A and B are shown apart, each in its own frame.
Chain A
Amino acid sequence: MNLDAYGLGGDAFNQADYRLYTDPEIARQEQDRIFEGPAWCFVGLEVELPKAGDYKTSWVGALPVILVRGQDGELRAMVNRCTHKGSTIVFDGEGCAERFVCPYHNWYYDLEGNLTAVAFGNGIKGQGGMPAAFDKRAHGLRRLRVATIAGLVFVSAAEQGPELEDYLGTRIAHHIRRTLGRGLVVLGQYTQVMHNNWKLYMENTRDSYHASLLHVFFTTFRLNRLDMAGGMAVGENGWNTLSYTQGTQKFNDEAYADARALNTDIKLQDPSLVANWPEFEDGIVSSITSVFPSLIMQQISNSLAVRQLVPKGPDKCELVWTLLGTVEDTPAQTGMRVKQSNLVGPAGLVSMEDGIIGNFVQRSIASARGERTVMRMGGDGVVSQESRVTEAGVRAFWKAYRAHMEPA
């Protein structure tokens, strides 16, 4: 499709027409070109499927998928839609199975998605049954490519596309391994329903400009301010981003003169909320990694989480949070991760605003005709920056978006 009319021509990626967030036809094309295109979509964690036969269901955009560990230990992904009448095959979310059976007419599939049997396929007492020409091999479940990094499982619905490592970019792949490349433990899981287009949330996770302005809890307690050392790293292809904060620096209250008035004397009654330990040798104390179009990996102090973004039509999306620890954590470290988890999620003292800010946009743009966003903070480029007062990461989102929606 031609995105020039939506402000996404040229090389700047510094504006986007509001109709991109509201048009059902755009949403349909995104399903074809992004989610079922060559993009790598995050669908779960290896630790969720430890043994042969373990399965879970997930979503690749609007496409329902089954993720399963085969008897050979390999992870496979297939569309959760019976080839007979389209029924959902696996409807219990997760479990362990030797085969999948469609509840509607009992079509049987093995863990590789091959159709192995059809109930009454030979009829009963010589009556009924499938025609002799019916070839089960032609009716297997549609398979998706699977790739993993540091225990994260990605799938791609396109038969061909970039390798996951190239798709992520060197710096992003390194940071994912650095953060999660250990024995992982799931400490919690919940879903946040948001009434906004999925792109508004994905942009938000790359928008280091808003962090200390909208999320005042952090700023008030001087946990994360843009005058702390940090930056925005963009992967080689300009699609995926890493926003990070490195240690603390002298606070610069003057830089916040234009921001909402802050009570800088405010103190936590229970500072154990933010008790932490230096977990990473690189000194990065906070980082948000955003992988187009569906993964956000979070390290906020010692609170580790991955978030899977699932669009639900043009004006709704769901965010599946998985809070993580490691097998090496001491009980004290686990306790700190638990307390710090109060900062994140739908009830997160730091992040709860992200649950509504997308809807603040969505509700106001329903009537927009031709107006466009302005994304020019930190210049117009899509390159790494040593400052977080930038929208370079948001521009990177739109660069990835155009690369998929309007391939060269």
Chain B
Amino acid sequence: MMTLDAAAVQQLMLRYADAIDADAIESWPDFFTPDGEYTVISRDSLKRGHLIGVMQCCGQGMMRDRVMGLRDANVYEPHCYRHVVSAPLLGEAGAEGVEATASFLLARIMRAGVPELFLSGRYEDLVVATPAGPRFRRRRVVLDSTAVDTLLVIPV
């Protein structure tokens, strides 16, 4: 099994962002382990110990249901994202995997109009090695603001 060095973790982070920005949302759950956890929560909520943020998926099934909603059920204006993700800071590697964080800026681009800074924040990840390569066991998206403009349908 491959080692989880900073370069491997960064490649995972960049491929993740690139897939979402390229509208390959169907592949989004595949960046996680089958039981992977994905949450989007504000730093203010984390400080208060809130259990609920704006999105929480436990496992790839819930993520695929999100993708299904995005493609087939939910009504929203077409738009896309552009992620800018910093180089990762790696924490200590434990038995479970390696913890890593990275800052991000996320622009939202509607059909017309200029790109707007939609969200900023930090990824707080637990990355594990799998036979298929590095995967997120946990990806917590910590938003800098408590406010979300209009709606959040495409994962961050």
Q: Chain A interface (Cβ within 8 Å of chain B)? A: 186-195, 214, 216-217, 220, 263, 266, 268-270, 272-273, 318, 323, 334, 337-339, 341-342, 345-347, 349, 352-353, 355-357, 359
Contacts of B146 in A (CB 8 A): 189-191
Q: In whole angstroms, how far apart are the Cα atoms of A187 and B49 in the complex?
A: 8
Q: Is the CB of A189 within 8 A of B45?
A: yes
Q: How large is the interface on B (under 10, 10 to 19, 20 to 34, 35 or more residues)?
A: 35 or more
In the complex, given contacts A268-B61, A269-B68, A272-B62, what are 13 additional A-B residue pairs having Cβ atoms less than 8 angstroms apart?
A187-B51, A188-B53, A192-B150, A217-B69, A220-B73, A266-B72, A339-B58, A339-B62, A341-B56, A342-B56, A346-B151, A349-B65, A352-B152
Q: Is the CB of A192 within 8 A of B69?
A: no
The smallest C-beta distance from B116 to any residue of chain A, in angstroms, reads 12
Contacts of A266 in B (CB 8 A): 68, 72-73
Q: Chain B interface (Cβ within 8 Å of chain A)? A: 40-42, 44-45, 48, 50-59, 61-62, 64-66, 68-69, 72-77, 146-153
Q: In whole angstroms, how far apart are the Cα atoms of A353 and B153 in the complex?
A: 10
A339-B56, A345-B54 as given contacts; A353 in contact with B75, CB under 8 Å: yes
The answer, among B44, B59, B72, B150, for a CB contact under 8 Å with A359, is: B150
Most chain B CB inside 10 Å of its own CB: which residue of A195, A334, A339: A339
Q: Is the CB of B59 within 8 A of A356?
A: no
A217-B74, A263-B72, A346-B150 as given contacts; A190 in contact with B62, CB under 8 Å: no
Q: Is the CB of A342 within 8 A of B148?
A: no
Q: In whole angstroms, how far apart are the Cα atoms of A153 and B87 in the complex?
A: 46
Q: In whole angstroms, how far apart are the Cα atoms of A175 and B80 in the complex?
A: 41
Contacts of B76 in A (CB 8 A): 352-353, 356
Q: In whole angstroms, how far apart are the Cα atoms of A323 and B65 in the complex?
A: 22
CB-based A-B contact count at 8 angstroms: 120
A216-B74, A270-B62, A347-B40 as given contacts; A188 in contact with B149, CB under 8 Å: no
Q: In whole angstroms, how far apart are the Cα atoms of A186 and B50 in the complex?
A: 7
A339-B56, A347-B148, A347-B153 as given contacts; A188 in contact with B77, CB under 8 Å: no
Specify the main secondary structure of chain A where it touches its partner.
mixed
Q: Is the CB of B55 within 8 A of A342?
A: yes
Contacts of B64 in A (CB 8 A): 269-270
Which partner residue on chain A sits nearest B143 by CB separation?
A190
The answer, among B50, B69, B72, B74, for a CB contact under 8 Å with A189, is: B50
Which partner residue on chain B sits nearest A263 by CB separation?
B72
Contacts of A216 in B (CB 8 A): 73-75
A189-B45, A270-B62, A341-B56 as given contacts; A349 in contact with B148, CB under 8 Å: no
The smallest C-beta distance from A331 to any residue of chain B, in angstroms, reads 11
Contacts of A270 in B (CB 8 A): 58-59, 61-62, 64-65
Contacts of B57 in A (CB 8 A): 342
The 4 nearest A-B residue pairs measured at CB? A188-B52, A270-B61, A355-B151, A269-B61
